[in-house]
Structures are given as structure tokens and as C-alpha cells.
Amino acid sequence: MLSDIHQDTLAAPLNRTLSDHIAERLRQAILTKQLAPGQRIVERDLAEAMQTSRGPVRDALKILENEGLVIHSAHRGTIVAQLTIDDVEEIYSVREALELLALRYTIKRATDDQIRELGRIVDRMAEIVQREYTQNEATDLDLEFHRALVQMSGHKRVQALWEELSSQTRLLLLTHRLKHPMDLKDIGVDYHRRVVEAVSDRDTERALEELHKHLRASFDGIVGGVTDTQTPADEGI
């Protein structure tokens, strides 16, 4: 009986690791638009392409479904999520609520060293806009800043909810930057810098106002690149 328990305990992480690996590869394909919105993902074909069984693939697709990156229906199977304006409004309303709450805790709890690290992320943004940068680089730094801001709050439940939303947020940011490739250089660095300055001064109201303006500008830019009239693709993988 004891050996059976050990076997079960050791087997589960291996399966989860494979599922996580498949989920990460699909996640990156979706975020970089290699898999287009509305495109079908056929579980059997994917398992054959990745030379694995269908179980880990099914688990990986469930992970992505929970993240909002794919949608499963009885009639069409699994398709890459196609975000609408309503989706953008929901994602950003939740994101803003979480980050504004995190910001209040960050101002109370963060050390000066942590705040300086936040400033160094903005310095890296300022550095990359002086050269030709990729939209992945810009988006990764943008998310790194906001993740750091949330983590500095020490609010575990806010952190967990923010991470749950982060894949959809990244997808929206990439969608926005495909249409506005100079966004980080033109306004992004300044927005983030003003947030850091307010946090450094421990000025809660100014920090909240600056973060709100930044997120509102980001929302407005993304809404311009998303429509409800996209036609889903039927090509499968």
C-alpha cells in the first residue's frame, strides 16, 4: 500500500509537467498570433504533432481554457479565443480594480529598494525605445512592471487573481502594439515613470490617479484594435 502511494505521488508531477509544457507552447503560439483568433485546435492532430497521448493535450487545453485563451464547445470543439470589445472592458475593469488595490498596499508596504527596482524597469523601457525593439520586448517589460507593482503589495489574493488574468492581458497588449508599434516610446515610458515617482513620494492619491490615467489610455488604445465583427477561422491544428 505504501509503495502504491509513492507511485501515485511521483506520477502526477510528470503528467502535469508535460501538460504545462504543451500549454506553454500553445500559449506562446496564441500570444504571437501563430494561432489566429477563431482557429480550431484539434486534440487528436495536436497529440500526433507533439508525439504524445491525448491526455496531456486535453489537460493543456483545459489550462488555456481557464486562462480565457481558448474556448471549448460541444459543436465546434476547441477554438482560439476571439476577444470582443465586451471582453476588453471586462478584462480591464478587473485589471484596474486589482492594480489600484495593489498600489495602495504597495505604497504602505514596499521598501525603498523595491521602489527603486520598479524605477529600473522603467529605465530599461527607456533604453529599448532608443533602438529598434520588438513588440514582444515592449509587452514583456510592460507586464514585468505591473507584475512587480502587484507583487510588491504583498497581497496574495490580488497577486493570484492578477496572474490568472495575465495571459489575456498580454494578448490584448500585443494586439494593441501591432497597430500602435511606437506606443511604448511615445507615451508608455512617461506613464510608467509618473507612477513610479508618485509611489516614491508615497503619494497615494497621485499614484492612483497616474495609474488610472495610464490604464485608461491603454484601454482606449486596445478598444480601437478590437472589433466584434471578426469572422472565426475554420482551419484546424
Q: What is the pLDDT of residues 45-73, one digit of tens each?
A: 988 988 889 999 999 999 888 877 888 88
10 and 115 co-located in one domain:
no
Q: What is the DSSP letter of 153?
A: T
Q: Which three cell numbers stand for residue 130?
A: 532608443
Flag whether 231 is in a domain.
Answer: no
Q: How many CA atoms lie within 13 A of 83 on its CB side?
A: 28
Residue ending a domain, among 52, 80, 108, is 80
105 and 204 co-located in one domain:
yes
112 and 160 co-located in one domain:
yes
pLDDT beyond 50 at 232: no
Range scoring the smallest mean pLDDT among 15-29, 33-47, 150-164: 15-29
State mean pLDDT over 197-208: 98
Give the CATH number of the domain where residue 152 resides. 1.20.120.530
Residue 52 burial class via C-beta count within 10 angstroms: exposed 0-12, middle 13-18, buried 19 and up:
middle
Flag whether 182 is in a domain.
Answer: yes
What is the longest distance spanned by two Cα atoms in the chain? 64
Flag whether 230 is in a domain.
Answer: no
Q: Which three cell numbers stand for residue 77?
A: 470543439
Query: Which strands, in side-by-side order, build the sheet including 70-73?
Result: 40-41, 77-80, 70-73
Flag whether 106 is in a domain.
Answer: yes
- Sign of the dihedral defined by the CA atoms of residues 60, 62, 68, 74, in that order: positive
pLDDT the model gives residue 157: 98
Residue ending a domain, among 27, 61, 80, is 80
pLDDT the model gives residue 184: 73
pLDDT beyond 50 at 172: yes
135 and 211 co-located in one domain:
yes
Residue ending a domain, among 32, 54, 80, is 80
| Spatial distance between the Cα atoms of 213 and 217, rounded to a whole number of angstroms | 6
What average pLDDT does the structure give for the chain?
Answer: 84
Q: Which three cell numbers stand for residue 116?
A: 527603486
Range of the domain at 141: 85-223
